């Protein structure tokens, strides 16, 4: 039974994408197929999370070929938790896209639904794969799908931005493929559990090079400073639901890959200075970039970059407390960032502009939208008792417990980033919800399916509220996931079986 549960999050969206192409003449059929598939996969992922938490990592040897020679799918507490949140947000964004009309465009034959389902399949594969090569396949599936989504109905400007995104992604994929080749040459395997034994046995110089190479590869995917340059130019040009799902999920997949490889392949017992520096730069450069923006979507893109630094902060400590904070922050950030981009899309549709100066001269957006924005924005800024506060508190406690000048400096950067996040969110609030003026006539008629869009946006916000409401159980689950990451034997024994098979 668990075999089908493990393959379903990848297989069902791929099959549904093919069926969606077959029924391209019927937009209603595509909508029903997309929402039904994501709902089913979300339910399956929730079951996986419960089973992984009770039994430990669940493993499927695809085709009956055992690891490390065969392909393994693995659902442990971390991957299953992130998968559940990612699918919940993906479903909310799909409903928003249907309400907005992005899912259909001007023709019912649009490739939106197949591309969206393949994107979700790529995300699921990235979370569940047990080897580096299929992680590469997952990234390529996400790249191809996201390029189609970014360029739906695109003009010259968006195509140019899409090319920046694609070229950067292809470069990181080339580096990733190079890293996989070097790792295989050095160890003779690409299975993650097997690499957990073989990589630590390599000479220190080789380990350091491989660790830094993977850090660069996944740093590009996760938009870590100074590898973030592509994101603010790529995401803001796409339709709101596309921007929301890419911002919420793709950077977190890169972060997940970083966490998985750095803890499993390159275990450390103390903080790692390169990661501390990267976390500090990401926090500060990202938020300073947000302060300088006048376009609401670019502002949110820089905020997205900045808050990746919080998750790097926890990883850089290499402690249970730090990794617990990273897991909590990733769960919170997936929901909060998606909600903010969806709200931005509604604000732009209401006012007809994304410029803060012009927003301030239009009539305020509806009160319900203002309330949703306040919840998401205050959560991102870390205001209690919202989910962002819970996650940041875990990170700050872990940093204080770790101590040291470098960690304390990073704590100061994190606090400053939180204050500046509150400032930039206040700027958006003042322009979109507190200013007075006339609603531009050109903006009227753009808000098709408003109730559906508001409902989907409220759903994304409520995911964050649920994270705060269930902070206690979620924190304990995140702590158990963090323990699994540092006690690598749990993952390795689930995949490889008896330690004697690993020569240990």
Domain-located, residue 37: no
Rounded Cα gap, residues 425 and 291, in angstroms = 10
Contacts of 10 (CB under 8 A, 6+ apart): 73, 121, 124, 125, 128
The mean pLDDT value for 91-116 works out to 76
pLDDT digit string, tens, across residues 283-304: 999 999 999 988 888 999 999 9
In contact, 448 and 381? CB cutoff 8 Å? no
- The Cβ of residue 423 has, within 10 Å, a number of other Cβ atoms equal to 13
pLDDT digit string, tens, across residues 9-26: 999 999 999 999 888 778
DSSP type of residue 293: -
pLDDT digit string, tens, across residues 121-175: 999 999 999 999 999 999 999 988 988 888 776 666 666 766 777 888 888 889 9
Domain-located, residue 326: yes
Rounded Cα gap, residues 128 and 323, in angstroms = 19
Q: Is the pLDDT of residue 185 over 90?
A: yes
Rounded Cα gap, residues 149 and 489, in angstroms = 40
Rounded Cα gap, residues 311 and 81, in angstroms = 16
Cα 88 to chain centroid distance, Å, stands at 12
Nearest CA to 78 out of 482, 501, 385, 431 is that of 482
- Residue 3 is predicted with a pLDDT of 74
Domain-located, residue 89: no
Q: What are phi and psi of 388, to 5 degrees?
A: -65, -35
- The Cβ of residue 172 has, within 10 Å, a number of other Cβ atoms equal to 21
Domain-located, residue 403: yes
Rounded Cα gap, residues 431 and 460, in angstroms = 23
Domain-located, residue 52: no
pLDDT digit string, tens, across residues 438-460: 555 544 444 557 788 888 999 99
- Residue 203 is predicted with a pLDDT of 92
- What the block records as the tokens of 11 is 């297989």
- Residue 236 is predicted with a pLDDT of 72
- Residue 66 is predicted with a pLDDT of 81
Please give the residue range of the domain that contains residue 385: 268-469
Domain-located, residue 83: no
Q: Exposed/middle/buried for 29, CB within 10 Å: 0-12, 13-18, 19+?
A: middle
Domain-located, residue 382: yes
The reported pTM is 0.92
Rounded Cα gap, residues 387 and 375, in angstroms = 10
Nearest CA to 67 out of 253, 191, 215, 199 is that of 191
pLDDT digit string, tens, across residues 216-254: 999 999 989 888 888 887 777 778 888 899 988 999 999
Rounded Cα gap, residues 90 and 237, in angstroms = 19
Per cent of the chain over pLDDT 90 is 56
pLDDT digit string, tens, across residues 371-382: 899 999 999 998
Domain-located, residue 503: no
Domains identified in the chain, total number = 1
Omega before 256 cis (within 30°)?
no
- Residue 35 is predicted with a pLDDT of 93
């Amino acid at each position: 039974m668990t075999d089908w549960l493990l393959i379903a999050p990848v297989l069902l969206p791929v099959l549904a994408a093919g069926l969606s192409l077959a029924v391209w003449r019927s937009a209603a059929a595509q909508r029903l197929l997309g929402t039904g598939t994501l709902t089913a996969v979300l339910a399956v992922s929730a079951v996986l999370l419960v089973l992984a938490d009770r039994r430990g990592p669940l493993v499927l040897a695809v085709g009956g070929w055992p690891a490390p020679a065969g392909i393994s799918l693995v659902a442990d507490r971390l991957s299953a938790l992130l998968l559940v949140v990612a699918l919940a947000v993906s479903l909310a964004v799909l409903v928003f896209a249907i309400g907005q009309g992005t899912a259909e465009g001007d023709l019912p034959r649009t490739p939106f639904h197949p591309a969206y389902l393949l994107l979700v399949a790529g995300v699921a594969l990235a979370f569940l794969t047990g080897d580096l090569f299929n992680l590469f396949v997952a990234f390529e599936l996400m790249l191809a799908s996201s390029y189609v989504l970014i360029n739906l109905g695109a003009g010259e400007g968006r195509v140019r931005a899409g090319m920046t995104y694609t070229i950067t992604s292809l470069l990181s994929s080339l580096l990733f493929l190079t890293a996989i080749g070097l790792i295989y040459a050095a160890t003779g395997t690409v299975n993650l559990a097997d690499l957990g034994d073989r990589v630590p046995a390599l000479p220190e110089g080789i380990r350091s090079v491989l660790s830094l190479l993977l850090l660069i590869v996944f740093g590009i995917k996760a938009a870590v400073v100074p590898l973030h340059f592509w994101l603010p130019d790529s995401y803001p040009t796409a339709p709101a639901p596309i921007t929301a799902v890419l911002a919420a999920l793709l950077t977190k997949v890169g972060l997940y890959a970083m966490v998985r490889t750095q803890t499993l392949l390159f275990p450390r017992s103390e903080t790692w200075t390169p990661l501390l520096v990267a976390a500090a730069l990401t926090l500060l450069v990202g938020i300073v970039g947000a302060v300088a923006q006048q376009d609401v979507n670019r502002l949110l893109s820089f905020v997205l970059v900045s808050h990746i630094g919080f998750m790097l902060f926890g990883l850089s400590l290499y402690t249970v407390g730090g990794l617990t904070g990273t897991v909590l922050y990733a769960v919170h950030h997936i929901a909060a960032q998606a909600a903010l981009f969806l709200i931005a899309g509604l604000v732009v549709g209401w006012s007809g502009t994304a410029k803060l100066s012009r927003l301030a001269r239009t009539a305020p957006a509806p009160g319900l939208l203002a309330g949703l924005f306040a919840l998401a924005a205050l959560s991102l800024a870390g205001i209690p008792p919202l989910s962002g506060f819970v996650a940041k508190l875990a990170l700050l406690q872990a940093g204080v417990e770790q101590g040291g000048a470098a960690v304390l400096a990073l704590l100061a950067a994190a606090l400053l980033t939180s204050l500046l996040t509150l400032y930039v969110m206040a700027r958006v609030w003042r322009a979109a919800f507190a200013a007075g003026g006339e609603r531009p006539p050109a903006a009227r008629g753009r808000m098709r399916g408003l109730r559906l869009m508001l409902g989907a946006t409220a759903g994304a916000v409520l995911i964050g509220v649920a994270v705060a409401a269930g902070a206690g159980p979620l924190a304990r689950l995140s702590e158990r996931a963090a323990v699994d990451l540092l006690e690598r034997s749990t993952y390795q024994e689930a995949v490889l079986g008896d330690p004697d098979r690993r020569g240990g």
